[in-house]
Structure formats: structure tokens, C-alpha cells
Chain A
Amino acid sequence: MGMQVFTARRGAWSRRTAVEVPMLMRKSLFFLALFSLIHIPTMLMAAESSSGFSTDRLWVLLAAALVFMMQAGFLLFEVGSVQPKNATATAMKNLVDWTMVSLAFFLFGFGFMFGTSAYGWIGTDLFFLNGIHAEGTSPLGFEFFMFELAFAATAATIISGAMAERTYFATYLVLSVFVGFIIYPIFGHWAWGNLFIESNNPWLAGLGFIDFAGSTVVHSVGGWISLVGVWTLGPRLGRYDKDGNLKELATTGLAWTAAGVFVLWLGWWGFNGGSELALNDNVGSIIANTNIAAAASGLACFAHCWHFQKRQQITEKFMGGILGGLVAVTACCSVVTMTGALAVGLTAGIIHNISWDFIIKKMKLDDPVGAIPVHLVCGIWGTLCVAIFGQQALLNHPRFVQLGVQAIGILACAIWTVGISIVVLKFLKATTGMRVSPTEELAGLNIGAEFHHVPDEVESIDEDELKALMGDDSEDES
């Protein structure tokens, strides 16, 4: 029989291998999984006792992986929402985010955010991760770095969706570096600067500001930069008609966007659950709160759009609303009960819809993926929800004082992020330009023109022609 196999015709051999190899793989995977189930807990316990390895570190690393996976979620969400002619270019910008932020955060960002604090305003060491295992730092070390790096990249990638389909690649690249290098880490230090070095006393955390996993620190920062970016950039060509009415543009496929929502939803379990920085009794309730808020927000958003907004853009709003619920509960998932999380989600869904119409239809800020209502508006709402729906015993101040502190944190974030974004984006606008050319934009950015950037064949007019044109004008005037 064995010889028959070797002397069989190529097609028969191929068919047989095509059947047998997957069978073999399935069997191997089964035994591997069985082996893992039996032995990994034992190995973990042994490792924990012998080498200082802990399940906390494993959990943070796993959570970092989940948050990293959110990049793929954002990619799917954005690619599905943009026009097919820009899908690849949009995906490239997501890749650029991780690449640039990885470097920027390693070089300086991590140090500015978590290094030894200078008067509570900025970190001053841990650059290039030097001293990450020094005395007085968290034992989480590199696991903590990977987890926080994934957070920094999340703040950056929010912007790519809002500015999609018309931003000049090099300009976006520089902006992305600025986000990972300075914009995100500085504000992050104010709120979270004592997470890695406990003796630090960052000023906002010192006031008692609570933002458990980053409704403001991560999402509003990305949202504010998106707002300034979209305002500086202008809308996509053809997005609004002459009277300023919104025009629907084709999408690659909202099914991809829905797939992105699922990936993000799962990733958020790591985003919020991992922010506990330990595998303890709170993690389960944090993840449950996260899930219920997203579901409630999706339902509220859908029902609100159905009854009060004439079902306009209901699919986009439903998907954005789910993300809005996730963003809102991010700040408060550790201090609310399940009922509180439900309330956070229900309100976030409605706020998302109202702000979507206000920002995109009334203000005419063209945000192709609805990043501003999701990340900025729901981020602000979630930060306030800490004081509104949080359990008093888990707050740092009486409820109304806590509300004031939360408002200070939101305001500080707005002033810092908007201020520095305006400076950076105005500088880029004056030096490199913000957009691709109209010809490139209309043709689509997938063809690679954006990356090679061949200038357009703009219609040329020589001086004589121009003179003739102006001459006609002078004749008219005379």
C-alpha cells in the first residue's frame, strides 16, 4: 500500500496528503491542548514559587496581547467604514500607528509617562527603558511596558480613523510620532504617573481623579486630537453638498466594521480587566461591567436612532454606540455595580447618537468612522460617570466633590491635548501640507500614489496665457 502511495499519480498523492495532513494536525492539536490543560497550571505554580514569576504578570501580558489585538479591531472597523478605493491605505495607517508608537514610546514616551516625577508634571527617567527593574519600580517590569505600549497605540490609532481618506501619509506619520512621544505620555503622567513608581505624586492623581482604564487618558486624548485634526484637515471631497447636507459615500462593507466591533469588544476585556494589573477577585466584575455597558449602549443607541433620528445611519450608529458604551465604562468599570454599568451604557448610547448628528451633520466635521462621538464624547461622559454612578465607598471624595475633580481632569486633558495638537498640526499644515492632492483623493489612495507621492499633472499656464486672461479682464473693466 505504501508503494502505491508513492507511485500514485500526482493528483492522487495530493488528494491523500490534503486529507491526511489536516487530520494529523487536528490530532496533534488535540493532544497539545490536553497536555496544556493538565500541565500548564502545574507549571505556573511551580514557576511562581521558584522564579518569582506570577500569574499577575501572566495576566498583564495576556491583557497586553488582547489590547494589541484591538489594533486589528480598529483596522477592520476603519477599513469597513471607508471607501473601497482607500481601504489599503487606511490599513497602512493602522500599521504605521503601531510601528511609530512602539518606537516613540520605547525611546521617550514610557519615561515621560512613568518615570520619576518632576513636581507631578512629567517623568524624568526610564528612557529607553533604562532602570525598568530598578528598586522602587513595579515588579511587572516589561509586562507593564507592553501593556502600556498597547494603550499608547490605541490613543494614536483613534486618530487614523477620524482623518482617514484624505490625510497626506508623511504628515500623519509625524503626528503619530508626536502622540506616542509626547502628547499621550504627558497627560498620562498627570493621571497615572504613580502606577509604575508608587512614590510618584502626579498632580491630577493627587487630586483624587479616577480614570480606571482610560476614558479620558486614552480615549479622550485620541478624541481631542481627532477633533483638531478633522477641523484642520477639512472634509473628504464630496462629503457635503453645496448646501452643507451630508452625502452618503460608499463603504468597503459594514460587515467588516461589525467584525471590527467584535474584535474590539473582546480586546476591551483585556483593556479594562488588565488595568487591574493583577489577577484578583475584581477582574471578573470589571469584565462583566464592561460587557453589560457595551450591550446596553448598543441597545439604547439603536432604539434612540430608530425612534428619534428617523433611522438615519442606524447601522453606523449602532456599531459606534457599542464602542461608545465600552469607552464610557472604561473609566468607571472598577467602581460601579452591574446596575451602574447598565446605566452608564444606556446613557452613553443616547449621548453617542446626539453627538454624532451634532458633530458630523451640524458642525460638518467629517469623521468617517465616528471616532469623535465614540472616543471623545463618550470618554468625557464615562469620566463623569465615575462620580455619578460610582459606589461612594470606592470614590476618593464625596460624590459632588468627586464630580468636580473629574471635571478638572477632563478640562486639563482638553487644554493640554487641544493646545499642543493645534501647535503641531498648524506647523505641519504650514510645512508639509495636510492632505493628498484632489486628484489623488478622487482616484483613491490604494494605488500607492500616496506612498510614492508623484505630484499631479496640474494644468499649466504660462505667463503669456495668464497675461492674456488678465488682459481680457482689464478690457472688461475698461
Chain B
Amino acid sequence: MSDPFVTDFDQVSLQVGEGFNLISKEEYLKIPATQRVRQILDRKVQFLNEGKVVPTKAALKTLQQRKMSVIDNDTLSEVSNQAKENS
């Protein structure tokens, strides 16, 4: 049975300046992991499936399920440390 809190996505909307750009899932996954994490923390990302907005957590879980992880733990720690140093 499929998990209702896991939703696949095919496009990603990224905020750039005041506007947004729409890119495919493949293009999104080419962005460096640290940058992707930063974008999620800065709330500049919306995931879409067939033209409808998908909850961020549900989209991230899809990546987990498919073993296409958005980020590994080392990168996350690095970003977290950087954020702490900056603050």
C-alpha cells in the first residue's frame, strides 16, 4: 500500500530574486546538495507533480524511497556548521 504522505514530483519551482524558475526533476538533482539544502531551509523551493504543488516533506520522502537522496548526512552537517558559524 502506498504511503499518502509520500508524493512523487516531476518539476521543481526555484525562487530566484523575486521571481521563480521552473526546472525538471533531473535538472534539480544536478544542483549541488549543499545548495539544495540551503534552498529548502530558505523556503525557496516548491515541488510539483503534474502541475500541482506537492508538500515539500512528501516530495523529499519520495527521494528517500527511491534512494535518490537529496543530501547525505556529511553535507547536511557541513551546512549546519556553516549556518551556526554565520549566526
Contacts and interface: CB of A to CB of B under 8 A. Distances in A.
Contact of B20 (A431, A437, A472, A473): A437
Interface in A451-473: 453, 455-456, 458-463, 465-467, 469-473
Contacts of B69: 470, 473, 477
Interface string B8-38: 0010010111111110000000000000010
Interface in B55-83: 55-57, 60-61, 63-64, 67, 69-73, 76, 80, 83
Nearest to B50: A242
A435 B19 contact: yes
Nearest to B83: A463
Contacts of A476: 64, 67
A168 to B, nearest CB: 4
Contacts of A460: 43
A431 B17 contact: yes
Contacts of B18: 168, 170, 432-433, 453, 455
A238 B51 contact: yes
Interface centre among A432, A435, A459 (most CB of B within 10 A): A459
Given A242-B50, A469-B64, A476-B64, A434 B73 contact: no
Given A237-B51, A241-B50, A459 B13 contact: no
B7 interface: no
Contact of A429 (B16, B44, B76): B16
B39 to A, nearest CB: 10
Contacts of A429: 16, 21
Contacts of B45: 458
Contact of B55 (A239, A241, A459): A459
B50 A461 contact: no
Nearest to B12: A438
Contact of B46 (A238, A458, A463): A458
B81 to A, nearest CB: 11
A433 B64 contact: no
B70 A433 contact: no
A281 B50 CA distance: 58
A455 B41 contact: no
Contacts of A477: 67, 69
A417 to B, nearest CB: 22
A458 B50 contact: no
B13 A438 contact: yes
B7 to A, nearest CB: 12
A436 B19 contact: yes
A55 interface: no
Contacts of B71: 470
Interface string A235-259: 0011101100000000000000000
Interface centre among B22, B46, B56, B76 (most CB of A within 10 A): B22
Contact of B64 (A170, A459, A472): A472
A1 interface: no
A242 B43 CA distance: 26
A471 B71 CA distance: 10
Interface string A342-384: 0000000000000000000000000000000000000000000
A437 B53 CA distance: 10
A430 interface: yes
A335 B84 CA distance: 73
Contacts of A442: 51-53
A250 to B, nearest CB: 14
Contacts of A458: 43-46, 56
A429 B27 CA distance: 15
Contact of A168 (B20, B37, B48): B20
Contacts of A439: 46, 53
A461 B16 contact: no
Contacts of B46: 437-439, 456, 458
A171 interface: yes
The 9 A-B pairs of least Cβ separation, nearest first, read A433-B19, A238-B51, A168-B19, A237-B51, A433-B16, A458-B43, A432-B17, A234-B22, A459-B56
Interface of A: 168, 170-171, 233-234, 237-239, 241-242, 429-439, 442, 453, 455-456, 458-463, 465-467, 469-474, 476-477
Given A241-B50, A434-B20, A463-B83, 8 more contacts: A171-B19, A238-B52, A434-B22, A458-B56, A462-B41, A470-B69, A470-B71, A476-B64
